[in-house]
Amino acid sequence: MRRSKGTIHVFTFKDGMLSAVTHDLRIRLEQFAISLDDDAVHGEFDLRTLFVDGPVRDGVVHPEEYDASKRADVEWAMHNDVLHTDEHPTARFAGRATAERDGFAVRGILELAGHEAPLSFGVERANDAYRARFELVPSRWRIKPYRAWLGAIRLKDLLRIEVALTDA
């Protein structure tokens, strides 16, 4: 069995009439466990450890633009209005990894917010790390996109997930 450590980042994307005054965001997941045993992949993700890094413009994160109060407001909404982490604190993935030229093709089931849906993505080996970059559509797990100000501020029903793992 191989266990991994590394980073997981979640990117959100603004939408709506007031999108010019809102931000795309990068969020980090601090506590997770991913293992590969033969071809079986298992992941457990503590959603209570999702924290805002800051707004993203032109592919660059600007943490200095969000003070502690702004981060706390966004994190409160994420945990209480969107993910309901008090009821569903953990996401889980179970699947299979098929070896490919420079990595793996991964297919399985993601349990998120009390619902399950299939998830497939590729993993590449690069610079002593395994990297994956894929998109999730939260509504597939019955998660409603965040809205404020009667829908004038909202997020797209799309997340980008970036994972970089090394062997533990």
| Spans of all domains in the chain | 2-167
In angstroms, the first-to-last Cα distance of the chain is 11
State the CATH architecture for 2-167: Beta Barrel (2.40)
Does the pLDDT value for residue 155 go beyond 90? Answer: no
**Structure tokens, 31:** 């506590």
Q: Give me the pLDDT at residue 39, please.
A: 92
d(CA 164, CA 30): 13
Q: Give me the pLDDT at residue 102, please.
A: 82
Which residue would you say has higher pLDDT here, 16 or 166? 166
Dihedral angle computed from the Cα positions of residues 138, 59, 57 and 151, in that order, rounded to the nearest 10 degrees: -10
What is the per-residue DSSP string for 104-133?
Answer: EEEEEEEEETTEEEEEEEEEEEETTEEEEE
Q: Whole-model pTM?
A: 0.88
Which residue would you say has higher pLDDT here, 23 or 39? 39
Rounded alpha-carbon distances, angstroms, from residue 167 to 5, 31, 40, 77, 82: 6, 16, 16, 34, 32
List the one residue out of 127, 128, 134 whose CA is nearest residue 108: 134
**Residue that the structure tokens 């450590």 belong to:** 5
Q: Give me the pLDDT at residue 3, please.
A: 56
pLDDT in tens, 42-94: 999 999 999 999 999 888 999 998 999 989 988 998 899 899 999 999 999 99
What stretch of H or E contains 76?
helix 68-76
Question: Length of the chain in residues, anyone?
Answer: 168
pLDDT in tens, 88-111: 999 999 999 999 888 899 999 999
What one-letter code names the amino acid at 59? G
Q: Give me the pLDDT at residue 21, please.
A: 53
Which residue would you say has higher pLDDT here, 87 or 166? 87
Q: What are phi and psi of 19, to 5 degrees?
A: -60, -25
